[in-house]
Amino acid sequence: MEPSPAPGELGAMLQAAGDFASYPGLHSDDTVRQFLERCPLPKLLGALQSEADAPGMVETVTECLDKVFSSRYGASLLPSYGAFIRTGLLTDSKDIRKLACKAVLHLLDKAEDGAAAVETVVQHNLYPVLINCLIEGDEEISAIILDAVKRLAEIPKGAEIIFPLPPDGQGSVQLGKVASQSSSLARIRILSLIAKLFTVSSYTATAIRDSNLLSIFEDEIKDRRDMLKTLSALEVLYELVEHPHSNIFLLKTNLLQLIIDVINDSSADSVIRSRAALISGRLLSSADAFTAIDQSCVTNLLAAIDKILKMEENQNTDEIESALETLGLIGTTTQGAHFLLTSSNVARHVVESSFDRQGRGRQLAALHAFGSICGVDRQEDQMKLDGQAEEYLKRLVYTTAANSSKLTPSALLLSILQQDPDIRIAGYRVISGLVVREWCLREICLNSDIIRLVTDPTMETTKLGMEARYNCCVAINKSLSSSHLLHEKSLSELIGKLNDAVRRGPYLSERKREEARPVVVPAERF
């Protein structure tokens, strides 16, 4: 118990604390040190522990102490006040509990000696109390604790507190056991914590897998009686699969098959099916994915997506756009693009929807997916696929053109560049990917209107649009420079335009700068 300020001191101390707390921004270490010389830390903490009935005292002091602990000097004092932090985490006062949570975060985040900070956590057994606050606290407190526990895991000795060896060691807090005994909201918070810890390092990701914590996601997704609970679990999983090495671990579980079951569940809400589709796309967006899973699983996934794209009645725009975006994610790798083109019918939906103006959102999503399949997101030496996949791609484009009013691929591509800016940007992506193919390069070079648009420096007005147009121009020029078409005399003017456009860069315009001219107007006389 810290000494409480004397009654005569309290008013002056609260005034000083209020002034300190109201200062905008962070205080310097020198300012914090000078303040604590006037208002010693033990007396500020004592005021919180006292029963003094001063209006606004707790709020003022906690805001002041948060400013103190936000500085490196203030955080350096925290190891001496581990007992106060623990007491604060256990109190019923929301303000004091929030201060204690933030104190743990400051302790771990600003400590010059990470091992000493972790020792404070161990000595006062703070981790179990933090997990309890995570489960029982409000959203603000839970968010602070998520950051604090993640920071703890980033310190080697701290990760051992969360994942002790052996896993069932004495005194450890087993997140899986806590989740099984908690409410639906608390389980989602545990899942959020797992997702944050998963991204810290390969050590924590492996520990999560070895502790069987990924099965909590499976349990939440498998039970689809509560739509909000399922959607919340999927949202957390969506964040987790953003991590580069997530598929190495997740694809060795039953999660992908469960995701496919959700996509196939016609009774599930479209929002849930859309999110499930995007998760599957992220899982399969790396080359490693196709070596980690059975191809029959991918076939089942594509069949489920194909089913969505074939729906003719009661179409849900968001669901269809998510399905197309999923195919784009899968198509970012050569393995994924090859599979889409040769092992399913979904690539046809992508190409046909890219040039179908019946639904703008659908067309935009399809164009971006088409660009990914063509290789615009891949390394230059991986853009082209093997002979079979390339033949399928060529056939799809020519068949789609023949079945349209445009008749030729070049006319189809030109029609994309004549639409609104967002569609044009997606069109630039498609051309940038397709043009590495000789047949597409010839189609583009034989259409002077396409060259005129992609070399026009005034065509786009936004930074994104200018860069997309320029990248497209560079891609055409680069493909042309390594093609026998470079030596055709009929293309000399076109080649000159492309060279000039590439030299000019993405932002500069050919328009001459007009200088201001003074205008002289004779005065009117009366």
The verdict on residue 284 lying in a domain is: yes
The verdict on residue 354 lying in a domain is: yes
Number of structural domains, the chain? 1
Q: For position 491, what pLDDT does the model report?
A: 74
Q: For position 6, what pLDDT does the model report?
A: 56
Give dist(CA 371, CA 431) in Å, integer. Answer: 8
The verdict on residue 520 lying in a domain is: no
Per 3-state DSSP, what percentage of the chain is helix, strand, and coil (rounded to 5)?
Answer: 70, 0, 30
Name the nearest CA neighbour of 97 among 111, 87, 107, 105.
87
Q: At what angle do helices 126-136 and 184-198 cross, to 10 degrees?
A: 130
Q: For position 166, what pLDDT does the model report?
A: 61
CB 308 within 8 A of CB 320: yes
Domain with residue 301: its CATH number is 1.25.10.10
Instruction: Locate 57 and state its tokens.
Output: 């005292």
The verdict on residue 170 lying in a domain is: no
The verdict on residue 3 lying in a domain is: no
* Degrees, nearest 5: CA angle 76-17-137: 70
Print the domain residue range for 365.
241-404
Q: For position 393, what pLDDT does the model report?
A: 95
Q: For position 485, what pLDDT does the model report?
A: 73
Instruction: Locate 484 and state its tokens.
Output: 């026998």
Could you read off the pLDDT tens digit of each residue along the chain, which spans 526 residues?
Answer: 555 555 557 788 888 988 888 888 888 999 999 999 998 899 888 888 776 667 788 899 999 999 999 999 999 999 999 999 999 999 988 999 999 999 999 999 887 778 889 999 999 999 999 999 999 888 999 999 999 999 999 998 888 899 887 655 444 567 888 888 888 888 999 999 999 999 888 888 888 888 888 888 888 888 777 888 889 999 999 988 888 778 888 888 888 899 999 999 888 888 899 999 999 999 898 878 888 788 888 899 999 999 888 865 446 788 889 999 999 999 999 999 999 999 878 999 999 999 988 788 899 999 999 999 999 999 988 999 999 999 999 999 999 999 988 889 999 999 999 999 999 999 999 999 999 999 999 999 888 899 999 998 888 889 999 999 999 999 998 988 888 776 677 777 788 888 888 888 888 654 444 445 555 555 555 4
Give dist(CA 121, CA 111) in Å, integer. Answer: 12
Name the nearest CA neighbour of 458 among 507, 422, 515.
507
CB 279 within 8 A of CB 259: yes
Give dist(CA 301, CA 309) in Å, integer. Answer: 13
DSSP assigned state of 461 = -
CB 198 within 8 A of CB 240: yes
The verdict on residue 229 lying in a domain is: no
The verdict on residue 201 lying in a domain is: no
The verdict on residue 276 lying in a domain is: yes
Report the 10 Å Cβ neighbour count for 159.
19
What is the 3-state secondary structure of 76-144? HCHHHHHHHHHHHHHCCCHHHHHHHHHHHHHHHHCCCCHHHHHHHHHHCCHHHHHHHHHHHCCHHHHHH
Give dist(CA 215, CA 208) in Å, integer. Answer: 10
H or E segment to which residue 394 belongs? helix 387-402
Q: For position 335, what pLDDT does the model report?
A: 92
